[in-house]
Structure 1
Amino acid sequence: MSWLRPIDAWFAEAILPHEPVLLQQARRWTGVDEDARDLVHEVYTQILQLDAWEQIANPAAYAARMMRNNALQRLRRARIVPFRQLTALENERADPAPGSFQICAGREELARLRAAIDRLPPACRRVILLRKFEDCPPRMIAERLGISLSTVEKHLARGLMLLAQARDIDAIATPAEMDEAATPESAPRQSLSHI
């Protein structure tokens, strides 16, 4: 069959087997069998016109997302929209897996947090790590480190304050620079080392 283009063969293998599921979704969104078929065929037409069709990693999900977007566009253009169509589209859940941007941003945020923790004064760092990462109660931390409960609470408060400041200024500074950043310009400068 020389008239068959590569995209046609891909479409027959990757998209068409999912037609029953796509039609079922379209019926839920449109409420009318004929409109559902139109919606699916509209998506087929758009997919067959794509230039980068080979780069689609999950064709079934791509088609379903495209169909949902088209259904939303139809609802926006419609003057009267049945309530059940709105609820059907609202009940669709987005993929809960994080996207590549979210993963990258999360890794960067984790790296900044690690750097901020590494810059904490040693006593604050030990208390923060025990409390927030090992989930030890303050009383147990006090016993483990041989310090009073009130000292544990002060180290914890100071450590959390310094971490919040590091996050807010989005730059990891030395503890002395963090102390300076914490002091308002109008207030006399004092060190937080007494905490």
Structure 2
Amino acid sequence: MQPSSSLANAFAAHYRTLVAFAARRMKSAEAAADLVHDAFVKVASLPGTAEVRQPRAFFVRVIENLMIDRFRESRASAHARIDVTPLDDDNDAFADLAIDPVDPSQLAEAMQTARALESAVNALPARCREVFVLRKVHGLSHEAIAERLQISKNMVEKHLRRALLGLVEFDRGAHGDDIPPAHD
């Protein structure tokens, strides 16, 4: 269920074009870059991506769909209202909420996935890993990362792209796929 090497290479080759495309429709270039990364992650989880004949057009369509989804989510959350009912001994506002117990198999699977992700991140080159963690874990902007690490914003984007491709390659190796790794 991993993207083909050619699809990963196409992503790397068209990365700047895809970010520029998304940036024209979004509030910031940083949000556009995040959306493009999310699009690749989404594509990486799709079955049958080896059959994509026009990868750039495919990525553009995935990006457009993600933009539509995010727009809908933002509209829905803007209109959401929370009804706050005061709690007292006779009125437990949460009494009708069902609490689902955690399924042990789902918990074990989630822990295994977390360990695999941690291993994948740790397998990244040091600077690439540092940029990835600052962006995805600590939520720093591309500009803040560039300033903190004394590198250009373009290098931040390159490290993030390399990290994403590295994580996909690590996942391929973990699942024993016989797909050659993608390179920058």
- Please, what TM-score do these two structures have when normalized by structure 2? 0.42
- Please, what TM-score do these two structures have when normalized by structure 1? 0.40
Higher-RCO chain (CA-CA 8 Å, sequence separation at least 6):
2
Look at both structures and tell me which one has the larger radius of gyration over its CA atoms: 1
